Amino acid sequence: MSEKTGDVRQAGEASAKERNPRKLKIVGFLCNWCSYAGADLAGVSRMQYPEEIRIIRVPCSGRINPLLVLKCFQEGADGVLVSGCHPGDCHYQEGNLYARRRMLVLRSMLSYFGIDERRFHMSWVSASEGKKWADTVRSLVEDVRAAQAEAEAGVPMW
Amino acid sequence: MKQSGKAAQDIGNDTGKTAMSLRKIATELLAKKAVGLVIGYGRSPLGDAVPLLVRRAEDAQALQWNQHCTYNLVRYLTDPEVVGGPEARGGGDGSGGAKSDSGKVAVVVKGCDLKALLVLQSENQVQRERLTVIGLSCPGLTDEQGRPLSKCRDCPPDVHNPREELCDLVVGGPVSRSGSETEGQQARDHDFRDVDEIEALSPAERRVLWDGYFARCLRCYACRNVCPLCYCKECVFDQHDPRWVSPAASVASNRSFHLIRAYHLAGRCVDCGECERACPVGIPLRRINRKAAKVVEEGFHFRAGLDPQAKSPLVGFADEDPQEFIE
Amino acid sequence: MRPAQIYTPFATRVRELRVETRDVKTLRLEFEDERVAATFAFEPGQFVELSVAGEGEATFCLASSPEETGYVECSVKRVGLVTEAIHRLDPDALVGLRGPYGNSFPLQRMEGRDLIFVAGGIGLAALRSLIKVVLAERGKFGSILILYGARSVEDLVYREELEQWRSLKGLKTVLTVDPGGEGAGWKGEVGFVPAVLERLKPGGKNSTVVTCGPPIMIRYVLATLDKMGFDPQEVITTLEMKMKCGLGHCGRCNVGPLYVCRDGPVFTYAQIREFVEQII
Amino acid sequence: MKILERKALADFFNDWLAEGELIAPVEIEGRLYFRQLDEEKRLAQLVWPVGQPGAAAPSGERPKAAPADTLTVNSIKEFFFPRRQELYEQRPEGITSRVARDERQRLLLFARPCDTRGLTILDRVFLGQSEDQSYRRARQITTIIGLHCLKPDRHCFCTSLGGGPFDTEGMDLALTPLDGERFVARGISEKGKKLLSSLSGNQAGDGERKRLEQLRKAAEAAIRRRIEVPDQQAMAKRFDSPYWGEVSKTCLSCGICSYLCPTCHCFDIVDEGYLRVRCWDTCSSDTFTRMAAGQNPRKHKYTRYRQRIYHKFSYFKENFDTYSCVGCGRCTRHCPVKIDIAEIVNGIASTSARDPAGKAAGFAGAATTRPVRAGTKSTDNGAKR
């Protein structure tokens, strides 16, 4: 991913430094067929988006076990994104629809325990939506940054 | 073979009569070798209610039924060391379930316990035809100090009188409880006032509230081990490779533990309340499980423990599932 | 030289990670601190806790000879998280080492006696240190038989040493592999270790047997030795049990009144006869 | 022996808080827990003992009536042997110890005789062979003010195990509440005697001594439970009894009994990222002895329950000449299925005996005729968990 989005990376770094000295660590789980391709398109199209997301490619958003998301938070991620194909477009017909239910429960529980729900996003990004990918990451980073700013001092993220 | 009793006026007398019916039924079942094991309630030498495993007809007289019989005995139906099964080897006594007379098991269930059994049935964890389910009409239980259990306060009529079509026999019913019909009805319409209260707090307040509870959690796993629906051979919390959640108790690892526990029970938990009862440090676990139940009910229009055929909503989907949270 | 805190390990560096078989590697470690290197001493039979950053800690017997100073060796079979991490280590990687822990083989008591070593699979690692010491002081002992078996020819560890031992005079080395594991050109025995042991009919009144291997092998070797009339006092084995602290505190390896880590891992059959079913 | 007014004690505790820490029973949602007192709430959280049975709660600053269950849920062991303790950090670059060294002095208040005696049992493990330095340090920085037990509950059986409601073992200073406002105080250790001499109060008179004796007798008489541990030979002969399968059948294999026990000391060492931490563990869990390749010598729950009983009443006795049980009753009180340790131990003697020597011969003989037994196959994991 990094070599494909080289320019974006540098641009993102500069803007991040202006806003906040501490870099965020955000993990994105992207399905192989739509969202990963969408992110790839954003890269080759030289669209700019924050570089604070680290992408993990998975076969399908239906593969995302909530344990993976929690593990990220436990190990110090500031935010997590799960991104898959639009409903109806899943390479495996319906994996993303299972994911939709699971992530709703997960997100609700996170919020119930007082974890800022802005730290956990889910998106549908197709292979042709390079721009949507860039927008998604931008809004995610903004949200996580806002959550970070509002978090009480001394309270660890997890 | 249905035993019927009149509506409970005097809980004491009625439970006494119910216990007698239970003993009679258990004695017959065991004597006829219709079952090899009856899982019911007994009394400890200290006078406490305890789960009781009866294998011989002459021991059935020890069966009890009273306001402290909170245990959800469905828990033991997935324990190979109790009911047998291919891998079960009893504790050297040779009476492990696999060798029991007929291999069949009778289990005493209250209405709330029955719901857990229905989930086990839907998940193919029990063979219903090998079970004799003895339903108990329940006038409501109390804790050791005599206060009604919180789960009993909201118990709707179709739960305190177990559904007859799902049991093999029902003992001691039907009971009605003053006030509980209407309250129960309300509870059925909107079940989640306790959850709403917490949702109404600010995120920071919720964090403080739950972190306070998580700081107390010892990770004794009593909540998991007492749960009739936590039957996995290898629990994710016992896996070493990968180790998903540290077994060392800390607010962070305990939060992960409780979140995953609730998630794995979403759409399955029947709110029998055993986890909360077992918790030695008073964590309000029902309020965690019921949050997940609320999400499932509101989002996927599903309530667990009503239909032995229904699958958990988290192994399915619907086109109209909510997705406002998705970008 | 002890660390400040009982659980804090010494830092060591990987000097060599030698491939023994498809799932066994021998790890040679050198202490980072010269003072530790100069003072670290152990007896054959003792074990250490090795740890890899971010992966965990596990128990290994010391397989090198105490006479070889400056480094220690452990042979590691890939079975779980830590052992897999060890197999992946780069040269010079940092490994934590706590120990040595446990008791050791009763070398003095073995002097003047005929020795029979019976090992299976990776179990030879636990005896290698002892065999090296015995061979270094060959004159102190009577006849020596080494019976070593593995699942297949490919699973035999310490090939070079086995060859060397086979070439030594006054030392009989018998190798065996499980039926089906022999492959073409195999000149050793075929059969399970207890069966070969029974066939060989070694020993007499002056023999001491030292055995280590997978639990099932130890079980049957002990039974065979019993049948052959060996004195349980003169049958010595070294046990494996899940361990964490190595100090007799954590309770994991408690069997009967014994803690395998503190009272063992070396036991005579007479000591553990009563508990053997609980361990192996 | 001195008579201390509650006010004087409160002043002393407040003074202590300026420099050090205070650990005391705190009420949370109707149950008592030993907790370190909060910097802000300070003594307001403290649950004062009510005094003789039936006496009213003391007056003063926000007094709390002790809940019906007057023994704390947790024992005091977690302040010496923490639930989770960071040992060291191991990174690919190096190893750094994480054991803290600069703890403040601690005062542990109102520990019951069973708890302080439990600590002396932990001492044998952690201060014996291979001394645990962090445990030693925690012991050194803690002064224990014990509290005699006036109202034992139905689960208590300390008197059968060499303890008692007025026992002082493991205490620095012992308090007996005479009523809500006055305490009889006795210095037990040198540290405690010195402390007591610095506190103002009258010497106890004959009347108070007599009263103390009455209270002691009443408290001891209130303990009606007994535990009779069979002698070691008898224990050994029952190891293989079917009894263990029967009494453990309903056990859920949770860790409540071990974690609330003042003497259970088993632990695990695990990695959290680059941190290596020590945490409580329990022999009732099947992961306790399960090895990396899957084999598990204590796969069945009866073997695990038996291990717990034998460890406490046989092995520990053999190693340390005492039982590792103080009769606090917590395991029974909080067991989710009310498994009753005293009842189970009392039942051992009446089960049929089997000669352990005969068993060993049986094993050796049987091994050649019996095929592979359970527990040797790596994937064979019959227990529920």
Per-residue pLDDT, averaged over D349-356, amounts to: 78
Q: Indicate if the pLDDT at residue D368 is higher than 80.
A: no
CB atoms within 10 A of CB C204: 11
pLDDT given for residue B14 in this prediction: 63
CA angle C192, C195, C197 (to 5 degrees): 105
Alpha carbon of B295: minimum distance to chain A alpha carbons (Å) = 6
What number of residues does chain C have? 280
pLDDT band, residue D99 (cuts 50/70/90)? confident
| CATH classification at residue C71 | 2.40.30.10
Neighbours of chain A (3+ CB pairs under 8 A): B
Residue type, D10: A
pLDDT band, residue A141 (cuts 50/70/90)? very high
pLDDT given for residue C100 in this prediction: 95
Hey, are the CB atoms on A121 and B260 less than 8 Å from each other?
no
Q: How far apart are CA D43 and CA D34, in angstroms?
A: 13
Per-residue pLDDT tens digits for C101-146:
999 999 999 999 999 999 999 999 999 999 999 999 999 999 999 9
Q: Largest alpha-carbon pair distance within chain A?
A: 45
Q: How far apart are CA C191 and CA C177, in angstroms?
A: 6
User: In degrees rounded to 5, what are phi and psi of residue D378?
Assistant: -70, -30
| Residue C128 sits in the same domain as residue C49 | no
Closest CA to C82 of C95, C73, C93: C95
Q: How far apart are CA B221 and CA B211, in angstroms?
A: 18
Pairing of strands D31-36, D84-91: unpaired
Q: Is residue C3 part of a domain?
A: no
Closest CA to B238 of A134, D248, D294, C207: D294
pLDDT given for residue D359 in this prediction: 45
Pairing of strands D173-177, D182-187: antiparallel
pLDDT given for residue B9 in this prediction: 32
Per-residue pLDDT, averaged over D229-233, amounts to: 93
Q: Do chains C and D touch (3 or more CB pairs under 8 A)?
A: yes
Neighbours of chain B (3+ CB pairs under 8 A): A, C, D
Query: Which of C4, C219, C248 lies closest to D367 in CB terms?
Result: C219
Hey, are the CB atoms on B238 and D255 less than 8 Å from each other?
no
pLDDT given for residue B114 in this prediction: 94
Could you list the residue range(s) of the whole structural domain that residue C190 is in? 107-279
Report residue B285 CA to chain centroid gap: 13
pLDDT band, residue D372 (cuts 50/70/90)? very low
Q: In what order do the strands lie in the sheet with B169-171?
A: B49-54, B37-43, B105-110, B131-136, B169-171
Neighbours of chain C (3+ CB pairs under 8 A): B, D
* Contact (Cβ atoms closer than 8 angstroms) between residue C243 and residue C261: yes
Domain boundary among C48, C71, C101: C101
Closest CA to D75 of D351, D259, D300: D259
Q: How far apart are CA C169 and CA C137, in angstroms?
A: 14
The residue assigned the tokens 């049992």 is: D121
Helix, strand, coil in percent for chain C, rounding step 5: 30, 30, 40
Write out the two tokens for C202. Answer: 């070694």
Report residue D340 CA to chain centroid gap: 16
Hey, are the CB atoms on C244 and D269 less than 8 Å from each other?
yes
Write out the two tokens for D314. Answer: 């046989």
| Residue C95 sits in the same domain as residue C111 | no
* Contact (Cβ atoms closer than 8 angstroms) between residue A106 and residue A120: yes
Helices (H), A20-94: 35-44, 66-74
Burial of A10 (0-12, 13-18, 19+ CB in 10 A): exposed
Q: How far apart are CA C174 and CA D169, in angstroms?
A: 61
Write out the two tokens for B37. Answer: 């094991």
Strand partners, D107: D22, D143
pLDDT given for residue B85 in this prediction: 59
pLDDT given for residue B187 in this prediction: 53
pLDDT given for residue B97 in this prediction: 38
Q: How far apart are CA B287 and CA D223, in angstroms?
A: 38
Write the DSSP string, B269-280.
-----HHHHH-T
DSSP B320: T
Q: Indicate if the pLDDT at residue D295 is higher than 70.
A: yes
Q: Which residues of C touch B241 (CB under 8 A)?
A: 80-81
Exposed e or buried b per residue across D135-144, where buried means at least 16 C-beta atoms within 10 angstroms of its C-beta: beebbeebbb
Q: How far apart are CA D333 and CA D315, in angstroms?
A: 24
CB atoms within 10 A of CB B233: 13
**Averaged pLDDT of chain D:** 85
Hey, are the CB atoms on A114 and B208 less than 8 Å from each other?
yes
Hey, are the CB atoms on A108 and B291 less than 8 Å from each other?
yes
pLDDT given for residue D51 in this prediction: 61
Per-residue pLDDT, averaged over D270-290, amounts to: 92
Query: Which of B81, B96, B278 lies closest to D383 in CB terms?
Result: B81
Chain pair C-D, CB pairs under 8 angstroms: 146
Domain residue extents for chain A: 6-145
Q: Which residues of D touch B281 (CB under 8 A)?
A: 31, 33, 73-74
Q: How far apart are CA D133 and CA D5, in angstroms?
A: 37
pLDDT given for residue D70 in this prediction: 75
Exposed e or buried b per residue across D172-198, where buried means at least 16 C-beta atoms within 10 angstroms of its C-beta: bbbbbbbebbbbbbbbbeeebeebbee
B80 in contact with D at a CB cutoff of 8 Å?
Answer: yes
Alpha carbon of C57: minimum distance to chain B alpha carbons (Å) = 12
pLDDT band, residue C205 (cuts 50/70/90)? confident
Alpha carbon of B72: minimum distance to chain A alpha carbons (Å) = 26
pLDDT given for residue D262 in this prediction: 97
Q: How far apart are CA D319 and CA D323, in angstroms?
A: 10
Please tell me the total count of domains within chain C.
Answer: 2
User: In degrees rounded to 5, what are phi and psi of residue C175?
Assistant: -110, 140
Per-residue pLDDT, averaged over D168-197, amounts to: 93
Hey, are the CB atoms on D270 and C11 less than 8 Å from each other?
no
Is the sign of the CA dihedral A57, A58, A59, A61 positive or negative? negative
Q: Is residue C1 part of a domain?
A: no
Alpha carbon of A12: minimum distance to chain B alpha carbons (Å) = 22
In this structure, which long-range contacts are made by residues C257-261, counting pairs with CB atoms below 8 Å and at least 24 apart in sequence?
Answer: C257/D314, C257/D315, C257/D318, C257/D319, C260/C102, C261/C47, C261/C59, C261/C101, C261/C102
Closest CA to B137 of B266, B21, B294: B21
DSSP C213: S
Q: Is residue C150 part of a domain?
A: yes
* Contact (Cβ atoms closer than 8 angstroms) between residue B171 and residue B25: yes
Q: A6-145: what CATH class?
A: alpha beta
**Pick from B270-279, C267-276, D53-62, D258-267: least confident:** D53-62
* Contact (Cβ atoms closer than 8 angstroms) between residue C174 and residue C82: no
Closest CA to D227 of D163, D272, D177: D163
Q: Half-sphere exposure (CA, 13 Å, Cβ side) for D28?
A: 20
Residue of C81, C84, C250, C277 best to disrupt the B interface, most CBs of B under 10 A: C81
Query: Which of D94, D311, D372 lies closest to C11 in CB terms?
Result: D94
Per-residue pLDDT tens digits for C2-54:
566 889 999 999 999 999 999 999 999 999 999 999 999 999 999 999 999 98
Hey, are the CB atoms on D88 and C248 less than 8 Å from each other?
no
For D:128-187, CB contacts with C below 8 A are: 129-134
Residue-by-residue pLDDT tens, chain B, 327 positions: 333 333 333 344 467 888 999 999 999 999 999 999 999 999 998 889 999 999 999 999 999 999 899 999 999 999 988 987 544 433 333 333 334 445 899 999 999 999 999 999 999 999 999 999 999 988 889 887 788 888 887 787 778 888 888 999 998 877 766 555 555 455 555 678 899 999 999 999 999 999 999 999 999 999 999 999 999 988 999 988 888 999 999 999 999 999 999 999 999 999 999 999 999 999 999 999 999 999 999 999 999 999 999 989 999 999 999 999 998
Q: How far apart are CA D244 and CA D301, in angstroms?
A: 9
Dihedral Cα D98, D102, D104, D107, nearest 10 deg: 50
Alpha carbon of B241: minimum distance to chain C alpha carbons (Å) = 6
Q: Indicate if the pLDDT at residue D373 is higher than 50.
A: no
Q: Indicate if the pLDDT at residue D266 is higher than 50.
A: yes
D62 vs C89, more confident: C89
Hey, are the CB atoms on D291 and C242 less than 8 Å from each other?
yes
pLDDT given for residue B174 in this prediction: 74
Q: How far apart are CA C219 and CA B124, in angstroms?
A: 39
Pairing of strands C72-77, C24-31: antiparallel
Domain boundary among C101, C134, C159: C101
The Cα-based distances of A131 to A5, A27, A31 in angstroms read 14, 19, 17
Alpha carbon of D239: minimum distance to chain B alpha carbons (Å) = 11
Q: In what order do the strands lie in the sheet with A53-58?
A: A53-58, A26-31, A79-84, A120-124
pLDDT band, residue D52 (cuts 50/70/90)? low
**Pick from A19-33, B194-208, D7-21, D251-265: least confident:** A19-33
Q: Which residues of D touch B87 (CB under 8 A)?
A: 380-382
Helices (H), D202-248: 206-222, 232-237, 243-248
Q: How far apart are CA B234 and CA D36, in angstroms?
A: 36
Q: How far apart are CA B304 and CA B290, in angstroms?
A: 11
D77 in contact with C at a CB cutoff of 8 Å?
Answer: no
For D:79-108, CB contacts with C below 8 A are: 87-88, 90-95, 97, 99
B234 in contact with D at a CB cutoff of 8 Å?
Answer: yes
